Amino acid sequence: MPMSIKHAILGLLSWKPATGYELKKVFEGSSFMYWSGNNNQIYKSLVSLLDDGLATSETQLQDGFPARKTYTITRDGMQELRDWAASSPEPPEFKHPFLVQLAWADQLSSDELDDLLLRYENEIRMQILMQQEKSRRGTEAPDRTPREAYLWEMISDNIMSSYKNELAWVQRTRNGISERRTREEAVNVDYKVFVNGDSRYLECFSARVPLSTEQDALDLVGLCGENDTNLLMLHGEALSDDFFRLRTGVAGGMLQKFANYQVRTALVISNPGVLKGRFKELAAEANRGSHFRVLQSREEARGWLLSRG
C-alpha cells in the first residue's frame, strides 16, 4: 500500500489528537516525514480523512482567539493505519538532485568542480550538526512502549547514518578527483587511447619535456598498462634530439625497455631529415622485426600495430 501524507497524519493522530497547525509544526521539524507541511496539503488531507470516516474533529471556541479545531483518529482510522503499517515496505528512493547535477559537472574546470563538491560537503556537515542538535534537545516523539521509543531512536540513527555515509562519499569523490588531477598533471606526455574492435593502442603525440630517459620509456609502458594495451604509437616530436643520435645511447635504452615489457612500438617520423646516418640503419634493421618499427605516417603505424604481423 503506497504511503501518503494521510498515513503520516493518521500515525500522528494515533499518538495524540492535534490541530492542523500542530501537525504542520511536526512536519516542519521532522527529518523523515518529508512532506512540506504546507497548510493546503495538510488541510486537504484532513478533509479527506474526515470524509472517509478515518478521523473526527471537534471545534472549541476560545475567547479572543480563532476557534480551535482538534482532529482525532477513529477506530476505522486505526485499522487503516494498522493495515498500512503491515503492508509490504516500499524500496528506498534514490531521487538525488545532486547526482543529476554531478553527472554533467565534467564541463566545469577542476577548481569549479572542487568548489561544487566542497559546497555540497559543507551542506552535509550542516545537516549533521542540525541532526545532532535535534538529538541533544530531545525531539518530541511517542514513547508509549519501550519498543516504540526504540523504533524512533533507530529512525534517527538511520537519518544520521545516511548523512555520515553521504559525507564520506563526497569526501572520497573529492579526494579521488584530486588524485586524478595530480596524476594527470604529473604525466609529461600528450596522449590518447584509440579502440578498434577488440584492439586498442595508445598514441603519444608530444611531451612537455622531450623524452630522453629509460624512466620516460617506463612511464609510457605504465600508461599502456593502465589503458590495457601493449601497442604504442610514438611520434618523433615527443622525443629528444638525443634519441636520434645513437652514440648517446638514448634510443637503445628506451627501446630495450619497450622490448622487455613487450610493448609493440611504432615510431612515426614525419620529418624525413631525421632518417639519416646510423639512425637510418637502425630503422631499416628494426623494420625487419616485429616489435619496433619506424614509419612515416600515422596510417602506416596504425595498420602495422593492429595487424599483429
Mean pLDDT (10-residue bins), the chain, 309 residues: 79 93 86 69 91 93 82 96 90 82 92 95 94 80 89 90 95 92 77 92 94 94 93 96 94 95 94 84 90 94 86
Amino acid at 178: S
Answer whether 87's CB lies under 8 Å from 3's CB: no
Q: Which residues pair with 194 in a beta bridge?
A: 201
Residue 203, helix vs strand vs coil? strand
C-alpha to C-alpha distance for 253 and 244, rounded to whole angstroms: 12
Residue 275 CB burial class (10 angstroms; 0-12, 13-18, ≥19): middle
The yes/no answer on whether domain 1-88 falls in CATH 3.50.50.60 is: no
Q: Which pLDDT score is estimated for 145?
A: 92
Residue 57 CB burial class (10 angstroms; 0-12, 13-18, ≥19): middle
C-alpha to C-alpha distance for 291 and 309, rounded to whole angstroms: 10
Answer whether 224's CB lies under 8 Å from 203's CB: no
**Whose grid coordinates read 493546503?**
40
C-alpha to C-alpha distance for 1 and 16, rounded to whole angstroms: 24
Q: Which pLDDT score is estimated for 223?
A: 92
Answer whether 10's CB lies under 8 Å from 46's CB: no
Q: Which pLDDT score is estimated for 271?
A: 80
**CATH class of the region 189-307:** alpha beta
Sheet holding 292-295, edge to edge: 189-196, 199-207, 231-235, 264-268, 292-295
C-alpha to C-alpha distance for 33 and 177, rounded to whole angstroms: 35
Q: Which pLDDT score is estimated for 224?
A: 94
C-alpha to C-alpha distance for 104 and 283, rounded to whole angstroms: 47
Q: Which pLDDT score is estimated for 3?
A: 63
